[in-house]
Amino acid sequence: MSAFCDDDAFDSDMGYIGKNQFWLAIQERGAKDNGAEFNGEINGATTGTNTPIANYEVYNCTWIGAGTNTTGNRGLQLRDYGAPTIYNSIVTEFGGFGVRVDATAGAQMTNGLLQVRDNLWWNFATNGVPMPNVYETSQASLLFSTASWSNDVANPLLTSISRTNFPTFKLDPKPQTGSPAKISSRTSPNDGFYNPIAWKGAMNKKNWAVDWTALGEYCIFSPAGGGEQIFAAVVSTLAPNPVTLTIAPSGANALIAYLSQIGYSYQLQSATNLNSPVTWAVSGSAQTGTGGTLTNSVPASSHENYFRVKAN
User: Which string of b and e fits 187-216 if b means at least 16 CB within 10 Å?
Assistant: ebeeeeebeebebbbbbbeebbbbeebebb
Is residue 230 pLDDT above 50, yes or no? no
Band (pLDDT 50/70/90 cuts) for residue 240 is low
Q: Per-residue confidence at 231, pLDDT binned at 50, 70, 90? A: very low
Task: Band the pLDDT of 50: cuts 50, 70, 90.
Answer: low
In angstroms, the CA 61 to CA 146 distance is 21
Mean pLDDT of all residues in 259-275: 89
Model pTM? 0.70
What confidence tens digit (pLDDT) does each residue in 277-291 have?
889 999 999 999 888
CA-based nearest residue to 298, from 252, 267, 258, 260: 252
Q: Which of 110-114, 128-132, 160-164 has the lowest mean pLDDT?
A: 128-132
- For the cut 60, the answer to whether the pLDDT of residue 229 exceeds it is no
Q: How many CB atoms lie within 10 A of CB 163?
A: 18
More confident residue, 303 or 154: 154
Q: Using the 8-state DSSP alphabet, how is residue 223 labeled?
A: G
Q: Which pLDDT does position 125 carry in this prediction? A: 82
pLDDT more than 70, % of the chain:
88
pLDDT of residue 277: 87
What percent of the chain lies above the pLDDT cut of 90?
48
pLDDT at 47: 55
pLDDT at position 292 over 70:
yes
Stretch 87-103: mean pLDDT:
93
Taking the chain, what is the end-to-end CA distance rounded to the nearest angstrom? 40
**What pLDDT sits at residue 238?**
41
Predicted confidence at residue 45, as pLDDT, reads: 57
Cα Rg of the chain (Å, integer): 23
What is the model's pLDDT at position 280?
93
Looking at residue 68, its pLDDT comes to: 86
- Helix 138-145 vs helix 103-110: crossing angle, to nearest 10: 30
Q: What is the mean pLDDT of residues 4-11?
A: 90
- pLDDT for the residue 78: 92
| pLDDT per residue as tens digits for the range 202-214 | 999 889 998 788 8
Which pLDDT belongs to residue 108?
87
Q: Which residue type does 80 have? A: D
- Between 102 and 47, the more confident residue is 102
Using the 8-state DSSP alphabet, how is residue 176 labeled? P
The 10s digit of each residue's pLDDT in 10-45 is 988 878 889 999 999 999 888 888 999 998 766 555
Q: Average of pLDDT values for 192-206?
A: 94
Q: What is the 3-state secondary structure (H, E, C) of 109-155?
A: HHCCCCEEECEEEEEECCCCCCCCCCECCHHHHHHHHCHHHCEEECC
Per-residue confidence band for 236, with pLDDT thresholds at 50, 70 and 90: very low
How far is CA 265 from each of CA 129, 198, 294, rounded to the nearest angstrom? 64, 50, 11
Mean per-residue pLDDT over the chain, rounded:
86
- Residues 147-152 have a mean pLDDT of 94
Strand 253-259 and strand 293-299: the pairing is: antiparallel
Instruction: List the domains of the chain with CATH numbers.
Output: 2-226 (no CATH), 231-311 (2.60.40)
The mean-pLDDT minimum among 102-116, 191-205, 226-240, 286-300 falls in 226-240
Decide if pLDDT at 148 tops 60. Answer: yes
